[in-house]
């Protein structure tokens, strides 16, 4: 996890479903970096991508638990 990851998760939690471009538009980070971090967060089950909409992400229950302090990111294993 990087410090930016928590900011991305918070933004998804507050704003709802977002694309990397929308994250850039909200001044969180540039689109390319948002895309890279979202892929990593997805790998660990903290966000999911909608299959029918390319590049649209939402926070998962695990992501919400991480934000609330109920889940330690060090305990997460990659999923695929």
Q: What is the pTM of this model?
A: 0.91
Q: Is residue 51 part of a domain?
A: yes
Is 78 within the bounds of a domain? Answer: no
Q: Is 14 within a domain?
A: yes
The two three-digit tokens of residue 45, written as one number: 């089950």
Helix ranges (H only) for 1-80 are 3-15, 20-25, 31-43, 61-68
The CA-atom distances, in angstroms, between 5 and each of 14, 20, 52, 70 are 14, 13, 24, 16
pLDDT of residue 59: 97
Whether 46 contacts 9, CB under 8 Å: yes
Could you tell me the CATH number of the domain that includes residue 16? 1.10.10.10
Collapse the DSSP code of 58 into the 3-class scheme (helix H, G, I; strand E, B; otherwise coil) and give the result.
strand
Q: Each residue's pLDDT tens digit in the chain (80 positions)?
A: 889 999 999 999 999 999 999 999 999 999 999 999 999 999 999 999 987 777 899 999 999 999 999 999 888 888 86
Classify burial at 35, counting beta carbons within 10 Å of its beta carbon; exposed 0-12, middle 13-18, buried 19 or more. middle
Q: Domain count for the chain, please give it.
A: 1
């Amino acid at each position: 996890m990087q410090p930016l990851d928590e900011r991305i998760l918070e933004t998804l939690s507050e704003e709802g479903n977002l694309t990397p471009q929308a994250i850039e538009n909200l001044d969180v980070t540039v689109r390319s970096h948002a895309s890279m971090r979202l892929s990593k967060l997805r790998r660990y089950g903290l966000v999911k991508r909608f299959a029918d909409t390319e590049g649209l992400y939402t926070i998962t229950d695990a992501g919400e638990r991480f934000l609330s302090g109920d889940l330690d990111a060090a305990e997460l294993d990659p999923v695929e």
